[in-house]
Chain A
Amino acid sequence: MKWTHRIVVTLLLAVTLVPLAAWLAFPWYLQLLVDRALAGKPFHVQISGSGIPGPGGVGFRKLTASFTAPPDQCSSKPATYRISILNGRISWNIGDLGALLFSDRLQTAFALNADSLRILPDPESFLFEDTHPRIDMRLTLVRRRGAPMEFHPERLSYAIRNASVTREKLRLAGIDYRVWLSRAGKWQQPPDTLSVSKLYSDGNPAPVGDFRALFGSKRDPLKPCTLILSNCSINLFEWNGAAERIEYDLREQETSFTLKLAEIPLNELPWFKPAGKMPIRGAGRVSGSIPIEFRDSTVLVRNALVAGEAGASILYPVKNSSRWFSLDIGPKPGSAELLKNLNATITLNSRNKNLSGLAVSNFSAELFEGKLQASPFMFDPVKNEVMLTLSMQDIRVLDRLNFHGESRGAFNGALSGTLPLSFGKKGLTFGRIDLASAVTFSDIALRDIPGLTGGSLKTPLAAGTLNGTLPLEYRNSALQVRNGMIAGSKSSAIVFYDKENRKRLSFGLAPDAGSRSLLRNINATLDLDTVAGKSKKYAITQLSAETPGGTLRVSPMLFSLNDREIPLTLKLNNIRALDRIRLHGDFKGSLSGAVSGTLPIVLGKQGFMIKRAVLHSGGVGTITVAPPKQKRSATERIFGAPEEDADYSFKSPDIILTRHFDGKTVLDFSLGELKRKTRSGEILLTSPKGTLAMWQDRKNPDMVTLSDFKAGFFDGTITISRVDYDIAGNKAETVLQLNNIPLQKLIDLQGTKKVYATGTVKGSIPVKISGTEIEIMDGAMIAESDGQIIYATTPEERAAANQGLRTTYEALSNFLYIQLGSSISMAPDGKSMLTIRLKGNNPDFQEGRPVELNLNLEQNLLDLMRSLSISSNVEQIISEKALQKNK
């Protein structure tokens, strides 16, 4: 009993221990099991570090599997795929084990979870990596009598999430795809969307991403070796490309398809985004098609084209809505596409280790009717840098450039040259640029030119438009203009307005009889960055132009945009500028003549200053001042005073002009002559010169100060030491100093033909001007030497005169004065009092005894001056005045 009991216990122990031992030994014979199960199949699986299985699964440290696909019609060589899974766990659901006892089939479900899964083909062409994969598999266990148990796979599913594929330095990241293979589906992968979110080249993101395509493993029986991708889309430089169908030839490893860029709104492109830093915006849409051929890691682009829809344009800038440039990229007659015949060869992941990334060669395109070519270039993902040289030939980009200001300005011209550039961490930088373009522009409103914009009333405004041609060349860091031309439109002018916004003076820029252009033969050389250092320096080494009649030259200069002040010296030579000046309002004038001289200007942040500009002209001019005419009746017109139009004409103006930044302006002038001509006569000032100071007081901008004025007047001189003249109120108060004025000239001025005098007078006449009124207060004049006064009368006149008057006539028939004094005052209404004191004798009268004469003339001097026939007045006045004889 004890024996049997022992045996029973041992047997029982054995029954319990064997499965336990088998259980515990699982990691050791698992491999054996797998090998047996896969015997004769093209799979090989190796498991290491497996644990002791639990009731629902078993874990392992590493599982490697290899699968060899035999050569088929699509690939000549067998391909082996090595799969390695780390830290995985296979869990199962065996189902009802007991059912296996009664049935020969059992449905089981396996799930594989792991930390990572890698697939590496041999030959090594790529590496697939997935983290935390889960693969589900359904197997049917089939048991036949006398045969080992068989595993029949039913279904395999693997949802790939955020996996990556690495091929040398290229990495596709964020791969999503759902693998679903089943016996029912004849182990064909049904179509599913493959998406790749990003492409990295050597760790750096490439501008290609968001690739999506629908594909499955089912092949077209007619094209058994073609992998068909459908509904493909890709994001290329933020452009969305789409291709309905991409056929990839597995045997030749090539494909060709057309990528359609359909209706991309321009303002969605990175440079034109409304929120972007760049002041440019896009309007409208562009679309394109890019035929692509891919073979041997090489992408060939063949005759790609990009076209803008009607109205598509690029705008600059957008902030100021009143003035902007637009580059029209829509279709135009003769050039429907923006970019066409674009060809390029792009080699991916170039074999040369130094040249990883992208290599682009044979790049050429037709852009804006011209030719654009690029030197072979590489995208180096390590340096993240692209360097290439663009060469351009007759790219008519300017034909599409417009300026929207007061008028719509247009440009014309083609761009040719070479442009070496590199794009990398530092952004976009340029090498030695060599560009040439003959820029033609038309209808650019003058008011759109900085400085002529207007705004406040005191700034000069402009009218009309400009057009011209500027042949530009940029070479060796120097911008050159060769033989340029600028012309103004018919009505173009720079206009100066007065405080009340009335046109006062305009400077015409329109073509005249003498010349079609305003500036021609414009030649300029601007050297950029001539001095090394942080601040960019510019040097104008040459700037000259021909103007109507003369030349304009800017002396060479060096400046930096950071300079607070930029000095500039303009040299004017014989420029026919006076002819272009027009006067408006109460003033009318015709001026002519050329101006020469030097105009040193300093441009500052707050405006400009002029440092002693010396300008001279041999020109002449007439300015007519016609005060506003009051309506008068016919009687008034016939018997009233004549209209007071006055012509001022001058000759040979020379000026020295200084203007400070704050607007203070001092003008030293000298003229050949200045003539005032009215109906009642003319006053000639010879060689007038003086100093005009303007805008000295900000609070009183209408105040002009004339000082040190001196002019020749009737062989004598007139001087004004200082007068402050208020232009707005027409107010001034000063003293006129007269010297060496021949008495005869003053008498002639009165219009009389019967009084003759010799000798000169001097004096000072205080004058007060207020509005239209003139007042003279206690003016005094005396003779500078003795002289003669003759009042000639006929014997008949003398006979007709009374005794007193006859005596006066006789005394004045040959009066030799030794003293002559005169005082004059005139009230604003023109009423004047003229007192003349004469001391002397007449040798033919009363034996030449000394005579003293006092004459008081009281009259309206303004009326007198308006009238030519005042001699009768004088006669009458003399007749009425008492003649006092000295005893």
Chain B
Amino acid sequence: MTGTMIKRTALKALLALMLFAGFSAPAFALDLETARAQGLAGEVDNGLLAVPPGAGGDAQAIIATINNQRRAEYAKIAAQNKLSLDVVGSMMFEKIYTRLPAGTWVQVKGQWKKKAG
């Protein structure tokens, strides 16, 4: 019980650290912050990005690339902590969510909405 607690706390610390360090994203015409701000990309509760409703495919390439990176990272964490990718992804989403500016598209339990201010 306590062991799991400690483990979870450690994991959260690791995730937080990862966020501050930032993903090593290659140079894109459109960066993630801009795409999210323009409503071309949204955060999904599995820790990945997706195209929100009504948006065109302009951010498709960056979404795919970032998702691949995120998956690789999540998989690493999952393997180290003997968790599934989905669990890591949803924990990651919670962290990402706190840092999102208001008005960003988020998808929770299949429903798209804009983060309230």
Q: Give the interface of A toward B (CB within 8 A).
A: 753-754, 756, 758, 788, 790, 792-795, 797, 813-814, 816, 844
* Chain A nearest CB, measured from B98 CB (Å): 25
Please give, as numbers and ranges, the residues of chain B lying within 8 Å of A793 by CB-CB distance.
Answer: 79
Q: Which B residues lie within 8 Å of A792 (CB)?
A: 75-76, 78-79, 85
Add 5 more A-B contacts to A756-B85, A792-B78, A792-B85 (CB < 8 A): A788-B71, A790-B71, A792-B75, A797-B79, A844-B72
B68 within 8 A of A: yes
**How long is the Cα–Cα vector from A753 to B67 in the complex, in angstroms?**
19
A816 to B65, CA, bound (A): 10
| Cβ–Cβ contact A754 & B68, under 8 A | no
Does residue B80 face the partner (Cβ distance < 8 Å to A)? Answer: yes
- Among B67, B76, B79, B80, chain A packs the most CB atoms within 10 A around the CB of B79
B34 at the binding interface (Cβ < 8 Å): no
Is B80's CB under 8 angstroms from A813's CB?
Answer: no
Whether B72 contacts A813 by the Cβ 8 Å rule is: yes
Interface membership of B107, Cβ < 8 A? no
B65-89 interface mask toward A, CB cutoff 8 Å, 1 = contact, 0 = none? 0011101100110111000110000
In the complex, how many angstroms separate the beta carbon of A841 from the nearest chain B beta carbon?
Answer: 11
Contacts of B80 in A (CB 8 A): 794-795
Across-interface contacts of A756 in B (CB, < 8 A): 71, 75, 85
With contacts A790-B75, A793-B79 taken as known, whether A814 is within 8 angstroms of B84 at the C-beta atoms is: no
Q: Which residues of B contact A788 (CB under 8 A)?
A: 68, 71-72
Taking Cβ atoms with an 8 Å cutoff, the residues of B that contact A are 67-69, 71-72, 75-76, 78-80, 84-85
When chains A and B are docked, how far (Å) is the Cα of A758 from the Cα of B67? 10
Enumerate chain B residues within 8 angstroms of A794, measured Cβ to Cβ.
79-80
B79: chain A residues at CB < 8 Å are: 754, 792-794, 797
- In angstroms, Cα B75 to Cα A797, docked, is 14
A365→B69 CA distance, assembly (Å): 104
List 15 A-B residue pairs with CB atoms under 8 Å apart, sorted by A's residue number.
A754-B79, A758-B67, A758-B68, A758-B71, A788-B71, A790-B71, A790-B72, A792-B76, A792-B78, A792-B79, A794-B80, A814-B68, A814-B69, A814-B72, A816-B68
In chain B, what residue has the closest Cβ to A744?
B85
Q: How far is the CB of B83 from chain A (nearest CB, A)?
A: 9
- Which residue of A has the minimal Cβ distance to B83? A753
Report whether A813 and B84 are in contact in the complex, using a CB–CB cutoff of 8 Å. Answer: no
**A813 & B75 in contact (Cβ 8 Å cutoff):** yes
> Is the Cβ of A753 less than 8 Å from the Cβ of B84?
yes
Interface of B (DSSP majority class): helix
B78: which A residues are within 8 A, CB to CB?
792
A795-B80 Cα distance, complex, nearest whole Å: 7
Nearest chain A CB to B70 CB, angstrom units? 10
A758 cross-chain contacts in B, Cβ below 8 A: 67-68, 71
A814 and B84 alpha carbons, distance in the complex (Å): 16
Minimum Cβ distance to chain A for residue B85 (Å): 5
B79 to A, closest residue via Cβ: A792
Q: Which 3 residue pairs spanning A and B have beta carbons closest together?
A: A814-B72, A792-B75, A792-B79
Q: In this complex, what residue of B is CB-closest to A813?
A: B72
Q: How far is the CA of A816 from the CA of B67 in the complex (A)?
A: 12
- A794, B85: Cα distance in complex, Å: 14
Bound Cα distance A790, B68 (Å): 9
Q: Output the least CB separation between A671 and chain B (Å).
A: 24
Contacts of B84 in A (CB 8 A): 753
Q: Which of A792, A794, A795, A797 gathers most chain B CB within 10 Å?
A: A792
Most A CB within 10 A of own CB, among B67, B71, B84: B71
How many angstroms between the C-alpha atoms of A844 and B79 in the bound complex? Answer: 17
B71 neighbours in A (Cβ, 8 Å): 756, 758, 788, 790, 814
Residues of the B chain whose Cβ atoms lie less than 8 Å from the Cβ of A797: 79
Closest residue of A by beta carbon distance from B82: A794
Q: How far is the CB of A399 from chain B (nearest CB, A)?
A: 69
B-side contacts of A844, CB under 8 Å: 72
Query: Chain A residues with Cβ under 8 A from B72's Cβ?
Result: 788, 790, 813-814, 844
| Smallest CB gap from B80: residue in A | A794
Once bound together, how far apart are the Cα atoms of A795 and B81, in whole Å? 11
Who on chain B is nearest to A790 by CB?
B75
Residue of A nearest to B85 (CB): A756
| Distance A758 CA – B50 CA, assembled complex (angstroms) | 14
In the complex, which residue of chain A has the Cβ closest to the Cβ of B81? Answer: A794
Q: How far is the CB of B19 from chain A (nearest CB, A)?
A: 19
Quote the shortest CB–CB distance from A744 to chain B (angstroms): 9
A813 CB contact (under 8 Å) in B67, B76, B85 = B76
Chain B residues near A753 (CB, 8 Å)?
84
| Closest Cβ–Cβ distance, residue A759 to chain B (whole Å) | 11
Residue of B whose beta carbon sits closest to that of A814: B72
Min C-beta distance of A816 to chain B, whole Å: 6
CB distance from A590 to the nearest CB of B (A): 32
In the assembled complex, the CB of A815 is this many whole angstroms from the nearest CB of chain B, namely 9
| A814: B residues at CB distance < 8 A | 68-69, 71-72, 75
Write the nearest CB–CB distance from B115 to chain A, whole angstroms. 26
Q: How many angstroms between the C-alpha atoms of A793 and B68 in the bound complex?
A: 16
List of A residues within 8 angstroms of B69 by Cβ: 814
Closest Cβ neighbor of A842 among chain B residues: B72
* Cα of A756 to Cα of B87 in the assembled complex, Å: 13
Nearest CB in chain A: distance from B14 CB, A: 13
Q: Bound state CA distance, A232 and B83, in angstroms?
A: 114
A794, B67: Cα distance in complex, Å: 21
How far, in Å, is B105 (CB) from chain A's closest CB?
21
Q: From residue A738, how far is it (CB to closest CB) to chain B in Å?
A: 24
Roughly how many angstroms separate A1 CA and B79 CA in the complex, as a whole number?
Answer: 193
Q: List the A side residues contacting B75 at CB < 8 Å.
A: 756, 790, 792, 813-814
In the assembly, what is the distance between CA of A756 and CA of B89, in Å? 13
Output the nearest chain A residue to B72 by Cβ-Cβ distance.
A814
How far, in whole Å, are A756 and B70 apart by their CA atoms in the complex?
Answer: 12
Q: How far is the CB of A226 from chain B (nearest CB, A)?
A: 114
Cα distance, A794 to B75, chains bound together (Å): 9
* Contact residues in B for A754 (Cβ distance below 8 Å): 79
CA distance A813 to B67 in the complex (A): 14
> What is the CA–CA distance of A758 and B66 in the complex, to the nearest angstrom?
13
B68 to chain A, nearest CB (A): 5
A797 to B78, CA, bound (A): 13
Q: How far is the CA of A753 from the CA of B87 in the complex (A)?
A: 12
State the CA gap A814–B78 with chains docked (Å).
Answer: 14
A792 to B79, CA, bound (A): 6
- Bound complex: CA of A756 vs CA of B47, how far in Å? 15
Cα A790 to Cα B71 in complex, Å, equals 8
Kindly list chain B residues whose C-beta atoms are within 8 Å of the C-beta of A795: 80
Min CB–CB distance B25 → chain A (angstroms): 11
CA A793 – CA B72 in complex, angstroms?
11
A844 to B75, CA, bound (A): 14
Q: How far is the CB of B112 from chain A (nearest CB, A)?
A: 19
Residues of chain B lying within 8 A (CB to CB) of residue A816:
68
Complex CA distance for A79 and B71, rounded to whole angstroms: 138
Residue of B nearest to A815 (CB): B72
Q: How far is the CB of B111 from chain A (nearest CB, A)?
A: 19
B75 to chain A, nearest CB (A): 4
B78 smallest CB distance to A (angstroms): 6
B79 CB, nearest partner CB in chain A, Å:
4
Question: Closest B-chain residue to A797, C-beta based?
Answer: B79
Closest B residue to A753 using CB positions: B84
Chain B min CB distance to A840 (Å): 11
Chain B nearest CB from A756 CB (Å) reads 5
CA distance A36 to B84 in the complex (A): 153
For the complex, give the distance between the alpha carbons of A794 and B79 in Å. Answer: 5
In the complex, A792 Cα to B84 Cα: how many Å?
10
B20 to chain A, nearest CB (A): 20
Q: Which of B69, B75, B80, B85 has the most CB of A within 10 A?
A: B75
Q: Tell me the smallest distance from the CB of B26 to a CB of chain A, in Å.
A: 8
Roughly how many angstroms separate A754 CA and B75 CA in the complex, as a whole number?
8
Chain A residues whose CB sits within 8 angstroms of the CB of B68 once the complex forms:
758, 788, 814, 816
Smallest CB separation, B72 vs chain A (Å): 3
